[in-house]
Structure 1
C-alpha cells in the first residue's frame, strides 16, 4: 500500500515547494509535480502517470483539492478511476479521505466549489479586459513577430505557411500580424 503525492501549479513562475513539503510530511513515497493548468486533465502527464501506476490499496495524496483539478467532472472521474483500482484519494488541507463515506461527500461538494471559483475568476478576468478595452488601455498580447522580417518575406511573395516556418510561429499569427499592418 504505497502513498503517492501529486503537486501542481498553473504557471511557470509559481512554485510547488510548499505542496512538496506537505506531501513529504504526509509520507508520500513518490511525488510527481507539474506546472500546467488544472482546468482539464488533458496534458497533465505526471497525473496520468500516477493514475496509470496506482494499484489496489494505494493512496493518491494532494495538498489541496484544486491542485487535483478545477472541474468537478474531472475530479470525480479521477476518484472513480481510483475506485476502480481499489485505491483512494486523500486531500491534506481539508482532511478528506475517500476511503470513508463522509470523505466522498465533502469531496463532491468542494470540487463543485472549486469549479465555481474558476468560473468566477474567468468572469472577473473577462470584465477587467472589457473595461480596459473600453478605456483604450488593453491592446492584447504584444506581438512576438519580427515585423520587418515579416514585411520582407511578404514582399518576396512568400505565403503565410512559409513565413510562419521562417519566423517560428503559427500561420494564424502571421495573418493577425498582416491584418494589424494593413489596418
Structure 2
C-alpha cells in the first residue's frame, strides 16, 4: 500500500513543494508525488492531464490518494464526482489535507454511503462554483482597471493567488479565521477582508495581474 499525493498548480505563484509541505505538516507520510503544473482544473479533466493519467494506472486497492482539497482533482462537478467514485470502486481511499476528509468505498451501510456521497457532491459543486466566481471576479477586476483613466490599481494585495485560493477553500469548509491565518501565514485582518468581500479581493489580484 502507498500514499500518493496528487498536486496540481495552474499559475506561477503556486508550487508543488507548498502542497507537499502542507500535507506533511498535517501528519501525512507521502510515498509518491504525482503533479501537473500549468494545468487548468476547469478545462482539463483529470484523465486528460499528463500526470493525472498516471493515477489511473498506478493506484491499487488499499492505496491512498491524497490531495490538498478536491479542487486539485478538478473544478468540474461531473469529473470530480466520477473520478472519486471510480477510485473508491477500485478500493482506493481518497483523502484531503484540508479538513482531513476521507472517502472510502468499503462501507456497505446505506446511511454512511448517503452521507459520504452527499459530501462528495457538495465539495465537487463548491470547487466548480468557486472557479466560476473567481473567473467572473477576474473579469470584473480587469474591466474596472481598464475603465480608469489613471489606471488606478489600489494597494497591492498582501496575498498571492495561491494563498487566496487556499483561504477561500478553507472558508468554504468552515475553518476558523485564526486557524486559516496560521495555516496560510496571513494576518487575520487579511482573512476577514477576503471573507467579507471576496469579489473585491479577487479583483485586486486581477488588477495587479497576480
Per the normalisation by structure 2, the TM-score is 0.57
On the 8 A contact 1:96/1:107 being kept in 2, the answer is no
On the 8 A contact 2:88/2:94 being kept in 1, the answer is no
Shift of 1:134: 4.5
The unaligned stretches of length 5 or more in structure 2 are: 108-112, 152-210
The unaligned stretches of length 5 or more in structure 1 are: 139-183
Within a 5 Å distance, the mapping from 1:136-151 to structure 2 comes to none
Within a 5 Å distance, the mapping from 1:1-183 to structure 2 comes to 1-24=1-24, 25-35=27-37, 36-39=39-42, 40-41=44-45, 43-99=48-104, 101=113, 102-135=115-148
SS in 2 for 1:55: coil
Residues 1:121 and 1:56: Cα distance change in structure 2 (over 3 Å): same
Q: Could you tell me how far apart the structure 1 residues matched to 2:78 and 2:150 are?
A: 37
Runs of 4+ in 1 over 6 A off after TM superposition: none
On the 8 A contact 1:65/1:111 being kept in 2, the answer is yes
Larger radius of gyration: 1
Shift of 1:135: 4.8
Q: Deviations over 1:120-169 (max 9, x none)?
A: 1111122233444555789xxxxxxxxxxxxxxxxxxxxxxxxxxxxxxx
Q: Could you tell me how far apart the structure 2 residues matched to 1:32 and 1:20 are?
A: 10
